[in-house]
Structure 1
Amino acid sequence: MTGSAGRAPGTTAFPRRLLLRTALAAGTVLGAAACTGPAPPARLVLAGGVQPGVYISLGRALAEVWRDRLGTAFAPEVLTTAGSTQNMQLLTSGAATLAISQVDVAADVAGGVTGPNEPMALARLYDDVTHLVVRRDSRFSTLDDLRGARVSIGPAGSGYQPIARRLLEVAGIGVDGLGERAELGLPDAVAALRADRIDAFFWSGGVPTDGVRALAAELPIRLLDLGAQLDRMRERFPVYSVGTVPATTYGLPGPVSCLSVRNVLLATAALDDTTARSLVEAAFTEQPRLAQASPAAVTIDSRSAIGTQPLPLHPGAVDFYRSSKGY
């Protein structure tokens, strides 16, 4: 996680003043494109992700779109976080108004939350793929080869540590079968692999992920093919699907089968319907702009955005999709 000196304007590292809510004065004047109806919540806070990563870049792009189209009152503070698990904790505690999360993590958390803080989806954004990164000149070719190896499974609070644990369990290795287990975020994992302090690291993110792409530009890498585990993973955890990372993505020797999981933009039941609809509508209107900020956003589409199951769609989002014939 970067310090404040390297942080983009409008981005705050968790947990700085998360519970602070500043009341907006009555009669706040929004921009020319502002929506009508109830004012937005007194404070919009979006739980983002790690730097560099798709969540944080997409979260910042969304914040700029909402500010420009709807007015400054709709521009959320974007938090730097460990990822999905921490984001869901922030959302369900009321410390964040909005969050981006993997659907598997969100569903696990949402099952026990009711009332105003119940998580509700605004849109399916894009799909993550699970990367299992090794040096190209290493001896590792399959997940089974990681028994006894030095492996980073991702930090606590991330969305991909649960996936790493599940994959290792399905492979019959488990975290106890590793030689050394590290819990590094993406920047630290990249640095550790480059310095040969670890043999492999897990990461789940959009394709391409900037941090992995930067590593591949200076150190030849491979992604381990997960095809042998995918059927068993999907049998135990139907929320996952199968994906492919093209060889051209990171200069790989060939395409790689991987685990795919949907990412969703979330609010809670406390967010009023008018604000929810306005946020969704602005995001889809400015989809090309989001795609410029993050290549993962190229796939954002109102027809597929309703695929947030098992999470329910927020009524304000439903209203937008019905009017746009995406529901």
Structure 2
Amino acid sequence: MKKSGVLIYLFIFSLFIAACGGTTEKTNTKPNGATEEKENEEQNLIDEAQAIVFGTGGTSGTYYPIGGALKPIFEQSDYIKNVTVAATGASVANIQNIQDGINQFAIVMSDVAYDALNGTGQFVNNKVDLKAFAGMYQNVVQVVATKDSAIQSIDDLKGKKVGVGKVGSGVEQSALKVLEAAGLIYDDLSKVTHTGYADSVQEMKNGNLDAAFFTSGIPNSNITDLMQSVDITFVEIKGEVASKLMEKYPFYKENNIPAGDEVKYSLDNEVKTVGIQNMLVVPSNLKDELVYDLAKHYYEYLGSEGVSVGALKQLNRNDIAKGLIAPIHPGAEMFYKEQGMLE
């Protein structure tokens, strides 16, 4: 009898313990308030980790190595399966690829993004729904001419042989706008070549071009290379040309290349020109959780000792959400607000 009494007691006690355990399970909440349902949703997103294509630019420019540097950073995210860094025709092609669902991430110039958002320029009657992920360094419009050409101003490009960048590139878009501000069109030039940086430099070395547009960070290694063998002049964008340009296109800002800076061409005199902010952009339908996590990894990377690309080293990570032409993606916006970078 004693034995059966003990067994009955143990059976009742085990039922009590099970009941307590069940109650605890139903009310389980994470310290930050996330329910198990929310946790399961996040786990599903991780299980469905996405492969993304990162549109950059030509392999000789600045965009491509930036993509290479950010690839392993973004692949640290549980939401990312892998990142493919794609060499492209740069800004215009990248936005078109985002519109077509080919790219899920890209670097573009603000002027091209402005056209895409407003259905102007190469995007006439073709507005693109894209979102800003983060701001980057400024692309400085650098117009370089051989000294033998006697080109001293943008007006002097009339009747000259000029390289304007690859067709559809952000470089060409800048060239068109700067020429427009000076009252010039392609027909006013004796020759127009749609050459990338490396080819423009080679053509100038060979005497086939008088000048070329380079819209990039400073220094541009291709210009540095040209300076080793050809005497050149940096053609300033200033005065009325600069005023007209900035009035019509608000994404242009004054930018001066300083004199005496060994890193920036070691110029004898300051060069007045204009610059355009580069941006990282994403399609508007990219999941908020994924974009939030990428913004977190990007922000942390910029504050680390591991930044290897010069264009990224010059960034203040607390400014990457400021002054953007495009609306910020909700996922990135949430992260930036948490950091106190946005109100």
- Report SS of the residue matched to 1:49: coil
Amino acid at match of 1:139: A
Question: Is the 2:162–2:192 contact (alpha carbons within 8 Å) kept by the matching residues of 1?
Answer: yes
User: Partner of 2:224 in structure 1?
Assistant: 213
User: Partner of 1:12 in structure 2?
Assistant: none
Alignment of 1:153-232 (within 5 A): 153-228=164-239, 229-232=241-244
The partner residue of 1:273 within 283, 288, 291 is 288
The answer to whether the aligner puts 1:132 opposite 2:159 as a matched pair is no
Instruction: Give how far 1:110 is off.
Output: 2.6
User: Partner of 2:113 in structure 1?
Assistant: 106
Instruction: Give how far 1:176 is off.
Output: 1.2
Q: After TM superposition, what 4+ stretches of structure 1 lie above 6 angstroms from structure 2?
A: none
- Report SS of the residue matched to 1:286: helix
User: Partner of 1:287 in structure 2?
Assistant: 302
> Once structures 1 and 2 are overlaid, which stretch shifts more, 315-324 or 305-314?
305-314
More helix by share: 2
The partner residue of 1:91 within 94, 98, 122 is 98
Question: Is the 1:65–1:283 contact (alpha carbons within 8 Å) kept by the matching residues of 2?
Answer: yes
Name the larger-Rg structure. Answer: 2
The answer to whether the aligner puts 1:119 opposite 2:164 as a matched pair is no
User: Partner of 1:152 in structure 2?
Assistant: 163
The partner residue of 1:256 within 250, 271, 278 is 271
Instruction: Give how far 1:263 is off.
Output: 0.7
TM, length-normalised to structure 2: 0.78
Provide the C-alpha distance between the structure 1 equivalents of 2:174 and 2:86, rounded to a whole number of angstroms.
23
User: Partner of 1:20 in structure 2?
Assistant: none
Amino acid at match of 1:222: T
Identify if the C-alpha distance between structure 1 residues 224 and 66 changes in structure 2 by more than 3 Å, giving closer, same or farther. Answer: same
Instruction: Give how far 1:37 is off.
Output: 6.9
- Report SS of the residue matched to 2:50: coil
Question: Is the 2:200–2:212 contact (alpha carbons within 8 Å) kept by the matching residues of 1?
Answer: yes
Identify if the C-alpha distance between structure 1 residues 263 and 246 changes in structure 2 by more than 3 Å, giving closer, same or farther. Answer: same
Structure 1: runs of 5+ lacking an equivalent:
1-34
Instruction: Give how far 1:308 is off.
Output: 4.8
User: Partner of 1:79 in structure 2?
Assistant: 86
> Once structures 1 and 2 are overlaid, which stretch shifts more, 305-314 or 189-198?
305-314
Question: Is the 2:89–2:168 contact (alpha carbons within 8 Å) kept by the matching residues of 1?
Answer: yes
- Report SS of the residue matched to 1:307: coil
TM, length-normalised to structure 1: 0.82
User: Partner of 2:320 in structure 1?
Assistant: 305
Identify if the C-alpha distance between structure 1 residues 190 and 293 changes in structure 2 by more than 3 Å, giving closer, same or farther. Answer: farther
Instruction: Give how far 1:194 is off.
Output: 1.3
RMSD: 2.2
Provide the C-alpha distance between the structure 1 equivalents of 2:306 and 2:212, rounded to a whole number of angstroms.
27
Amino acid at match of 1:43: A
Identify if the C-alpha distance between structure 1 residues 280 and 37 changes in structure 2 by more than 3 Å, giving closer, same or farther. Answer: farther
Provide the C-alpha distance between the structure 2 equivalents of 1:252 and 1:136, rounded to a whole number of angstroms.
15
- Report SS of the residue matched to 2:325: coil
Identify if the C-alpha distance between structure 1 residues 218 and 282 changes in structure 2 by more than 3 Å, giving closer, same or farther. Answer: farther
Output one character per residue of 1:96-128: Cα deviation in whole Å (capped at 9) or x when no partner.
000110111112113359xxx721111001111
> Once structures 1 and 2 are overlaid, which stretch shifts more, 72-81 or 226-235?
72-81
User: Partner of 2:67 in structure 1?
Assistant: 59
Question: Is the 1:284–1:301 contact (alpha carbons within 8 Å) kept by the matching residues of 2?
Answer: no
Instruction: Give how far 1:137 is off.
Output: 4.6
Question: Is the 2:321–2:341 contact (alpha carbons within 8 Å) kept by the matching residues of 1?
Answer: yes
Identify if the C-alpha distance between structure 1 residues 145 and 186 changes in structure 2 by more than 3 Å, giving closer, same or farther. Answer: same
- Report SS of the residue matched to 1:211: helix
User: Partner of 2:31 in structure 1?
Assistant: none
Question: Is the 1:288–1:298 contact (alpha carbons within 8 Å) kept by the matching residues of 2?
Answer: no
Provide the C-alpha distance between the structure 1 equivalents of 2:333 and 2:302, rounded to a whole number of angstroms.
18
Percent identity (aligned): 26
Provide the C-alpha distance between the structure 1 equivalents of 2:233 and 2:307, rounded to a whole number of angstroms.
27
Question: Is the 1:302–1:321 contact (alpha carbons within 8 Å) kept by the matching residues of 2?
Answer: no
